[in-house]
Amino acid sequence: MAEVTVTPRCSLADRPVRVRVRGLAPRQRVTLLASLADERGGRFRARAFYRADERGEVDAERHAALGGDFAGLWPMGLFWFLRPEAPFQRLVKRDVAGSPFRVRLEVFDDVRVVTGPEEPPLAACTAERWFVGPGVRRAPVREGRVRGALFLPP
């Protein structure tokens, strides 16, 4: 039974996480797919193809992606290479303090360039990426023509 994990599952957006898949067949080829929806409903995805090691594991810190949206050793590649499904869309996050981006990670058997809704993943999990840490206070700034926000630590 395959299992995908992100450690830590909940983290600040600028902190690295570890993506691992266990429970695969030795040397099995898989596709890892990361997806999220922004506040306007825009969909963003990144995919990478991997080959499990002899223990049936994929670790993005140790195993290089064989292709997809990136190739080579990119431990955070599934997060860094998220691209919009529709052209010219920008990733929007206005409520930086109230909610995280929820990035869904799915593992599919073999190399999958296109995955349909009828195709269930081997395993899936969700990572929360926050932009403001616990206890941080947001203070609006309005001075003359200057507008912004000041984020104050606890």
Q: Model-level pTM?
A: 0.88
The domains located in the chain, with CATH, are 3-152 (2.60.40.2240)
What is the pLDDT, as a whole number, of residue 96? 86
Q: What is the mean pLDDT of residues 83-96?
A: 90
What is the pLDDT, as a whole number, of residue 113? 80
Cα dist from 138 to 10, 147, 153, whole Å: 21, 13, 9
- CA 103 vs. chain centroid, Å, equals 5
What is the pLDDT, as a whole number, of residue 115? 64
Q: Measuring CA to CA, which residue among 54, 58, 55 is closest to residue 107? A: 58
Arithmetic mean of pLDDT over the chain:
94
Is residue 120 within 8 Å of residue 133, measured between CB atoms? Answer: no
Query: What distance in Å separates the CA atoms of residue 23 and residue 18, rounded to the nearest whole number?
Result: 17
Burial class (CB in 10 A: 0-12, 13-18, 19+), 46: buried
Q: What are phi and psi of 41, to 5 degrees?
A: 90, 5
Token pair, residue 40, equals: 């306007």
Query: What distance in Å separates the CA atoms of residue 10 and residue 57, rounded to the nearest whole number?
Result: 22
Burial class (CB in 10 A: 0-12, 13-18, 19+), 40: exposed
Write the pLDDT tens digit of every residue in 13-66. Answer: 999 999 999 999 999 999 999 999 998 999 999 999 999 999 999 999 999 999
Q: What are phi and psi of 77, to 5 degrees?
A: -55, -40
Q: 114: pLDDT confidence band, cut at 50, 70 and 90?
A: confident
Token pair, residue 144, equals: 């003359």
Q: 116: pLDDT confidence band, cut at 50, 70 and 90?
A: low
Query: What distance in Å separates the CA atoms of residue 32 and residue 20, rounded to the nearest whole number?
Result: 10
